[in-house]
Amino acid sequence: MKIVCLGDSLTYGYGVPRRDCWVSLAAEMTGHTIVNKGVNGDTAGGMLARFRRDVAEEAPRLLFVMGGGNDILFSGTDAQARADMAALVHQALALGLKVLLGLPAPVYPSLLPAPWRELADFQALEPVRAAYRDWLIRSARVFRIGTVDFSLPAFAPPRGEALYLDGLHLGREGHRLMAAAFAAALPPVPV
């Protein structure tokens, strides 16, 4: 089965070699053709803008999409992310694609480098992130699509901190755990 993974740096695999990114590892684990269309720093609006090129022209059977974190980071709200993610889901369903929404791993503000801490108050944004996550779960239920929850027990404090590169992005072991979660969430392929 061909799968496109659309997202931001968490999908791209910021900070790890391409072969160690969860998308690459999931392709190895499952034998599926999985195309990584993650872009560092992207917003849900950016993903929507490149939907035709990065998804429709690839003609996958399944779209995995995870985004909105940068929208929240840059604006302090999840309103635009909700609108853009809903549009992405509608466009994918209109093409007859199966869809999985990604629920991102937790953020560790205490591990963020100083320049990132100056960009936004990550602690104050946590309620917005939590509300957005709840909205994604409700949306998946309404649209009858699946989710991949990357808020794995292994990422919980205090042990989870060791899996991060910088409080936002996971290292190699974190990507291995994400790949396993993704592979386990894939729907069965009809024969």
Number of separate domains in the chain: 1
Beta-bridge partners for 164: 170
> What's the predicted TM-score (pTM) here?
0.95
pLDDT at site 159: 84
> What sign does the dihedral 120-115-157-74 (CA atoms) show?
positive
CATH number at residue 29: 3.40.50.1110
CB atoms within 10 A of CB 35: 16
pLDDT in tens, 26-80: 999 999 999 999 999 999 999 999 999 999 999 999 999 999 999 999 999 999 9
User: Is 190 within the bounds of a domain?
Assistant: no
DSSP state of 20: G
Residue entry with tokens 């292994």: 154
Is position 191 within any domain?
no
- The whole domain housing 92 covers 2-185
Q: Is residue 88 part of a domain?
A: yes
